[in-house]
Amino acid sequence: MTKLMLGGRDHRIDGFLNVDVHEGPLVDIQGDISDLSKFESGSVTEIYASHCLEHFPHVRTLDVLKEWRRVMAKKGKTYISVPNVDYIISYYQKHGLSDWFRNIMWGDQGYKEAFHYTGFNFAKLSNLLFLSGYEDIKRIDKMPYGLADCSTRVMSDDGKNFSLHVEATA
């Protein structure tokens, strides 16, 4: 069975295939992570997706999650980390329209795909996961595997992680 790291470009998890739209030395399959047609239905036991779901327009989010769910084996786990819009709004209320707020809310826009098209809190993401066919959807404190990716970044002023981490079972 296959394990997928979606949008991992500069990171790698041993035993996972890294799928990313960009080429790179750690990318195994270059391609759009919303199209997993290279993988058979039910052939993936685990998905790890850190800070990539927000890069799809909100009108496509459900379809992207349905595609991820399609490839999942029964009882397979999907781990998703996204910017936590509840934290981001509270930060804005305290600090205003800072560079950090603009970058995390709408992407740093440093390259073609570096735009954030939507935001998530637990209620919104868990509902979309449910509608996609996932079960046992829960918020987790941190992503597995201990990668130093976007999911682990903390704020300098309060030391809090600004990401929402979710585990869902197929």
Mean pLDDT across 146-151: 96
Q: What is the pLDDT of residues 155-166, one digit of tens each?
A: 888 889 999 999
Region 41-68: what's the mean pLDDT? 98
The rounded mean pLDDT for the chain is 96
Q: Looking at domain 2-169, which of 3.40.50.150, 3.40.47.10, 3.20.80.10, 3.30.565.10 is its CATH number?
A: 3.40.50.150
Q: Mean pLDDT across the stretch 12-17?
A: 98
3-state secondary structure the chain: CEEEEECCCCCCCCCCEEEECCCCCCCCEECCCCCCCCCCCCCEEEEEEECCHHHCCCCCHHHHHHHHHHHEEEEEEEEEEEEEHHHHHHHHHHHCCCHHHHHHHHCCCCCCCCCCCCCECHHHHHHHHHHCCCEEEEECCCCHHHCCCHHHCECCCCCCECEEEEEEEC
- Over residues 96-139, the pLDDT tens digits come to 999 999 999 999 999 999 999 999 999 999 999 999 999 999 99
Query: When comparing pLDDT for 158 and 142, which is higher?
Result: 142
pTM of the shown model? 0.97
